[in-house]
Structure 1
Amino acid sequence: MEKTCTNVWENCLQIIKDNIPTQSFKTWFEPIIPLRLEESVLTIQVPSLFFYEWLEEHYVGLLRKTVKKHLGDKGRLEYNIVVEKSSSQKPFTTNLPSSGNGAEGKNQSIPMPIALNKDIKNPFVIPGLKKLQVDPQLNPNYTFENFIEGDCNRLARSAGYAVGAKPGGTSFNPLMIYGGVGLGKTHLAQAIGNEVKKTMPDKLVIYVSCEKFCQQFVDSLKNNTINDFVNFYQAMDIIIMDDVHNFAGKDKTQDIFFHIFNHLHQSGKQLILTSDKPPKDLAGLEERLLSRFKWGLSADLSVPDMETRMAILKKKMYQDGIELPNDVIEYVANNIDNNVRELEGAMVSLLAQSTLNKKEIDLALAKQMLKNFIKNTSKEISMEYIQKLVCEYFEVPIEMVKSKTRKREIVQARQISMYLSKSHTKTSLKSIGAFFGGRDHSTVIYACQTVEDLIDTDKKFKAYVHDIQKKLKMS
């Protein structure tokens, strides 16, 4: 079959997909468009300079090996970069050859678009002051330093940090952060605003909840000050709007925000939005507004895994100057897994009870005090417990499961332990692999597939797994 840019790139993507997390693949590789293949040079189009720099910094080794695998030792990759995405002008592009270490392309000059007129008359300017003064409405405690990174939020945090360093200058505009209650959407969104105010104090930043924005709009209609309202928000450099799902059913408010959004986006200003659902699942919003929410990056915050929950608790204790036994921290993190807010609330409750009763916090006190929290949560079975149960069932030493031995009975116990850890915990594949002897995520995927195949084809093996699962449910 004749090689084309499309099939070569698709073959490359198959390898890349197996070597990086799914969310990272969707964010950094799905938007890439293969353009042409000339001799051994594959040209791909990426959405922005920031996008190119991220690929060269984080994935250059993987890209180089993948391209050479399909195009030979002379295989090279060139980038076609869309510098500016705006409805008022055609995008600029430039070819940047991958240097292998990402250094060559970054130094080449790129034509930049003409800046839009920033001169906006604003009725809120205070007499006697040259510039508009705005209280950004930010909580100073919401910073990147206080936001613990984990597999559950790494993409959103990385994108947020990039936006904070270069607001309006990345392809993440708007940046939509979505997820369930208490997972840190407001914290991360405001952390971006605080970072901008720290490094670029002249930038006009405003944080506003969607509910408050809607109320302000209603008030401006009553007071006949709608122009003042629109001009104020159009004067901002960065708007951080919380809970945009509350726009549902408010057609007039959606219409006014649509025009504010367009003005800011075309002026190179930054919009940061939060929601409880991704744009595609938001109901009651006009299609034209939803389409704009999809222009940039939608990044989710999921429930933190065990390691991240423990890190959150340790960070909070450090900030409060408190020390707790490690078994207490592990107990709380293992049993409170709904969201970060509930996790911190459980710790606050535990500390309050300890202070009031003048008792030292130990595991027994933690179990007693947190009954109300734990009763309302679905208890997560730990990997330690799964490993212990499997080893007891097959009568193999626990330490052997983490070893490099290839003995059949040990490999079987290890693979079943990995399979059950994936099925019964919210731990990432990477963390499961690390727990079972420092293996990578591909080993975990292989183990799970092997167990599933044996369950389908081996009745005796299927009975083993079902017996262990029954014991897990009874625990």
Structure 2
Amino acid sequence: MQANRAWESIKKNLELKLSKSEFKTWFSSASPMSFEDDKLVIAVDNEFTKEKINKEYRDAIKESIRELFIDGDGKDVEVVVSPNKKLNEERLVETRERGFNANTKKNNLPDSKYNFSNFIVGKSNEFAHAASRAVAISPGKVYNPLFIYGGVGLGKTHLMHSIGNYITSQNPEAKVYYCSSEQFTNDLINSLKKDRMAQFREKYRKLDALLIDDIQFIAGKESTQEEFFHTFNSLHQYSRQIVVSSDRPPQEIKNIEERLVSRFTWGLVADIKAPDYETRVAILKNKAEAEGITIPEDAINYIAEAIKSNIRELEGSLNRVVAKASLLGRDVDFDMIKEVFKGFMEDRAKKINKGKIIKTVSEFFGVPISDIESNKRKKEIAKARQISMYLLRDMLNLPFSSIGDSFGGRDHTTVMHSVNKIDSEVAFDKSLKFEIDQIRQNILK
């Protein structure tokens, strides 16, 4: 029983880390055999799945164990073929065909657990939510395409599935297809290899709604961009709804054709920001209710104050609490929350340090660290330096004098001026706020 409860908690955590198609393809039929001492043993249907999980998802499983269990550090993972199931060649072939693509219609229907009724609306996402509802009510007639952008774990995928589910609830015969841009690319490659391009085009161009997640990953892929361009045109010509998501606005996606960037802005571009405190509290309460657990108000407030980055991390933190309560047979109270979060906050603090913040800013803007820490006053260097100072203060709460020491011994008043300057500009400069949110997400990865 302990292995089953532990595996359910681990699966919930994995579901937050992986794409929906990855999770369904590789983990839907996996089951726990044991979870004792220093090892988790899970059983899968065939050798191919075993090899795939060992090669690509083993680290993700081990990371989930570390996050969920106090004694999880150092636990190993063993994947075995279930002794109760012989290798089924037909199923193996199907799995190979699907791979990461999950090409079957079943796997690419919108996920029924995501809908508008369980999407928590706040100031950070109300515009994207309203646009998504409008598109769902009148697909192909308003905001076509709808382009939703924002950082990781902020609710873009939830909205896309909500759109698809609403469309099919109103018209069960509607052909609605959800996939990631990587799935689209892999599907294209497989179709080219097998000389099945006619079927590929029939599949994608005869839809009533196409929902493509993480479109930024087609950057630099010329053949994919070419095929998506014609798919887009075909769907748009016949007023079929197109919804696209990305981690950045269209104009900021590098190595993508201008004609695609132009088409992404034909309809409506809507952004989602990190949730504010009130929205975080509402999300946690909704999640607790869905899990059927009662969490004291002060404990909810504590989590909402501690986790500010994204919804996925918020829900992951609550999963850790639920897992511990379930395994120990305890009620969730404020003391338990503090126990769980003590290790979590310490782990996060170890990952975030002065060097990582400056390095991440350097990589984001393409400005060498030596220039950021120098006295050079070139505009792009000064901007990277001021943002570095701002994030050191905001994320590590370092004294102004300590921050100054990292930038050539600048005095605390100079640092204070830089921090206050960025703080005030973020309030009205959407582009700057987006950049800082992206850098913050990169730091927390």
From 283, 290, 315, the counterpart of 1:319: 290
Listed one character per residue, the Cα deviations across residues 239-290 of structure 1 (whole Å, up to 9, x for unaligned) are 0001100101110111011011011111111100011111010011111111
Over the matched positions of the two proteins, sequence identity in percent amounts to 42
From 249, 260, 275, the counterpart of 1:304: 275
Q: Distance in 2 between matches of 1:377 and 1:285?
A: 34
1:179 aligns with 2:183: no
Describe the shift of the 1:199–1:376 C-alpha distance in structure 2 as closer, same or farther (beyond 3 A).
farther
AA of the residue aligned to 2:145: P
Q: Distance in 1 between matches of 2:315 and 2:170?
A: 30
Question: Is the contact between residue 167 and residue 269 of structure 1 (CA under 8 Å) also seen in structure 2?
Answer: yes
Q: Does the residue aligned with 1:289 lie in a helix, a strand or coil?
A: helix
Q: Does the residue aligned with 1:206 lie in a helix, a strand or coil?
A: strand
AA of the residue aligned to 1:293: F
Q: Which residue of 2 aligns with 1:381?
A: none
Describe the shift of the 1:375–1:158 C-alpha distance in structure 2 as closer, same or farther (beyond 3 A).
farther
1:216 aligns with 2:187: yes
Q: Distance in 2 between matches of 1:352 and 1:247?
A: 37
AA of the residue aligned to 1:366: I
Question: Is the contact between residue 134 and residue 204 of structure 1 (CA under 8 Å) also seen in structure 2?
Answer: no
**Larger CA deviation: 247-256 vs 369-378:** 369-378
Q: How does 1:141-152 map to 2 (within 5 A)?
A: 141-152=113-124
Question: Is the contact between residue 179 and residue 301 of structure 1 (CA under 8 Å) also seen in structure 2?
Answer: yes
Question: Is the contact between residue 335 and residue 377 of structure 1 (CA under 8 Å) also seen in structure 2?
Answer: no
From 229, 233, 246, the counterpart of 1:258: 229
In structure 1, stretches of 5+ residues that fail to align are 1-132, 379-422, 426-447, 453-475
Q: Distance in 1 between matches of 2:131 and 2:348?
A: 31
Deviation at 1:340, TM superposition (A): 0.6
From 114, 125, 139, the counterpart of 1:153: 125
Question: Is the contact between residue 294 and residue 332 of structure 2 (CA under 8 Å) also seen in structure 1?
Answer: no
1:292 aligns with 2:292: no
Deviation at 1:309, TM superposition (A): 0.5
Listed one character per residue, the Cα deviations across residues 210-237 of structure 1 (whole Å, up to 9, x for unaligned) are 1011011011111111122112211001
1:168 aligns with 2:140: yes
Q: Which residue of 2 aligns with 1:350?
A: 321
Describe the shift of the 1:357–1:375 C-alpha distance in structure 2 as closer, same or farther (beyond 3 A).
same
Q: Which residue of 2 aligns with 1:248?
A: 219
Measured on the aligned residues, the alpha-carbon RMSD in Å equals 2.2
Q: Distance in 2 between matches of 1:361 and 1:138?
A: 33
1:238 aligns with 2:195: no
Q: Distance in 2 between matches of 1:281 and 1:372?
A: 37
Q: How does 1:20-419 map to 2 (within 5 A)?
A: 134-135=105-106, 136-170=108-142, 172-375=143-346
Deviation at 1:146, TM superposition (A): 1.2
**Larger CA deviation: 352-361 vs 185-194:** 352-361
Q: How does 1:387-466 map to 2 (within 5 A)?
A: none
Question: Is the contact between residue 279 and residue 293 of structure 1 (CA under 8 Å) also seen in structure 2?
Answer: yes
Q: Distance in 2 between matches of 1:176 and 1:374?
A: 35
Q: Distance in 1 between matches of 2:118 and 2:343?
A: 27
Structure 1 ranges of 4+ moved more than 3 A: 133-136, 375-378
So what's the TM-score if we normalise by structure 2?
A: 0.54
Deviation at 1:137, TM superposition (A): 2.2
AA of the residue aligned to 2:125: N
Q: Distance in 2 between matches of 1:290 and 1:300?
A: 16
Q: Distance in 2 between matches of 1:178 and 1:159?
A: 12
Describe the shift of the 1:153–1:375 C-alpha distance in structure 2 as closer, same or farther (beyond 3 A).
farther
Q: Distance in 2 between matches of 1:330 and 1:183?
A: 19
Deviation at 1:314, TM superposition (A): 0.6
AA of the residue aligned to 1:149: V
AA of the residue aligned to 1:186: T
Q: Does the residue aligned with 1:150 lie in a helix, a strand or coil?
A: coil
Q: Distance in 2 between matches of 1:268 and 1:360?
A: 53
AA of the residue aligned to 2:329: K
Q: Distance in 2 between matches of 1:339 and 1:326?
A: 20
**Larger CA deviation: 161-170 vs 361-370:** 361-370
Q: Which residue of 2 aligns with 1:101?
A: none
Listed one character per residue, the Cα deviations across residues 334-353 of structure 1 (whole Å, up to 9, x for unaligned) are 10111111111111101111
Q: Distance in 1 between matches of 2:159 and 2:131?
A: 10
Deviation at 1:358, TM superposition (A): 2.8
Q: Does the residue aligned with 1:203 lie in a helix, a strand or coil?
A: coil
Listed one character per residue, the Cα deviations across residues 58-110 of structure 1 (whole Å, up to 9, x for unaligned) are xxxxxxxxxxxxxxxxxxxxxxxxxxxxxxxxxxxxxxxxxxxxxxxxxxxxx
Listed one character per residue, the Cα deviations across residues 398-418 of structure 1 (whole Å, up to 9, x for unaligned) are xxxxxxxxxxxxxxxxxxxxx
Listed one character per residue, the Cα deviations across residues 423-466 of structure 1 (whole Å, up to 9, x for unaligned) are 979xxxxxxxxxxxxxxxxxxxxxx99xx9xxxxxxxxxxxxxx
Question: Is the contact between residue 299 and residue 334 of structure 2 (CA under 8 Å) also seen in structure 1?
Answer: yes
Q: Distance in 1 between matches of 2:348 and 2:242?
A: 35
Question: Is the contact between residue 325 and residue 332 of structure 2 (CA under 8 Å) also seen in structure 1?
Answer: yes
AA of the residue aligned to 2:134: A
